[in-house]
Amino acid sequence: MKKLFALLLALTLALMALTPALAETADTSADIAESAAEEATETTEEEAAEEAAPAVSPVFKKLLEVPWYTWVVLGILVAAGILLALNAKKIRWDSRSLSMGAMCVAIAFVLSCIRLYRMPQGGSITPASMLPLILFMVACGPLKGFVVGCVFGLLKLLADPYIIHPIQLLMDYPLAYGAMILSCLALLIPIKDQWRLPIAVLLACIARWFMSVLSGVIFFAESAGEQNALVYSMVYNASYMAPDALVCILISCIPGMPRLVKTIRKKG
């Protein structure tokens, strides 16, 4: 049942991303039908048949016109759904994991509402709002961490939405915070626990920054004006994420912080 739910969730998000293309297909089909009806009165039956022939498969034609980044995001969603489905037995959300995950999301959300500075085109500097999520991800692993990151992203979407496209919605909210599971790579580095958490924070911030840069290049290139869209997006997103990451790294260097990871990881 859990496997089916995960796959259905991935497919639902995929269909949501393809909705604009399918909507345009419906409009295109209607336009083709109208033009074919008008031309049928002026042309012979053979010419009318030739004009109507291209309207047989407009859906496939539109699907071929879907931008490449749409398929990339859909691939990520399907891969995440399959990964969660295959590991459904390994992901056991006991009462402690649920309570810790909910607590970390709640603390992160409250901290995200305290905006020290808000950028004009989206993004803000907060007092280490990402740190509770990273602590949970490092403590409970990438699978549970991805779920918690996506939940936080959807919560941010409900609280302060800025949407111009379904793919942009996915990249800037659930996938941006879900990508922070890159922090779990710090567990593979043979170093002291005191330095593992700051490295995890750095990796998580880089992952979120990458998703925001990609979204900026694709959907907000017009804001760059005559500047290079990639450079503009990199600088713009770093202007507020870098201070946020620096605060998180400084706090994670406090000697007692690794104990929080062990406390969250501790089984009841």
Please give the residue that has the higher pLDDT: either 77 or 245.
Answer: 245
- State phi, psi for 225 to the nearest 5 degrees: 65, -125
* Chain segment 150-169, per-residue pLDDT in tens: 999 988 988 888 888 888 88
* Chain segment 190-219, per-residue pLDDT in tens: 888 789 999 999 999 999 999 999 999 988
Q: Which of 76-85, 87-96, 138-147, 253-262 has the lowest mean pLDDT?
A: 76-85
* Chain segment 218-253, per-residue pLDDT in tens: 888 888 888 899 999 999 999 999 999 999 999 999
CB proximity list for 78: less than 8 A, separation 6 or greater: 10, 11, 14
- State phi, psi for 56 to the nearest 5 degrees: -70, -40
Q: Are 199 and 101 in contact (CB under 8 A)?
A: no
- CA distances to 93, 122, 147, 174, 193 from 86, rounded to whole Å, are 15, 36, 15, 21, 30
Q: Which two tokens stand for residue 174?
A: 């659930």
pLDDT at position 223: 83
CB proximity list for 56: less than 8 A, separation 6 or greater: none
CB proximity list for 224: less than 8 A, separation 6 or greater: 231, 232, 233
- Over residues 76-99, the mean pLDDT reads 70
Beta 124-125 vs 117-118: how paired, if at all? antiparallel
Which segments within 119-262 are labelled E, that is strand?
Answer: 124-125
- Over residues 133-138, the mean pLDDT reads 96
Indicate if the alpha-carbon torsion angle 95, 96, 99, 105 is positive or negative. Answer: negative
* pTM of the predicted protein model: 0.70
Tell me the DSSP string of 117-149: EE-TTS-EE-SSTTHHHHHHHHHH-HHHHHHHH
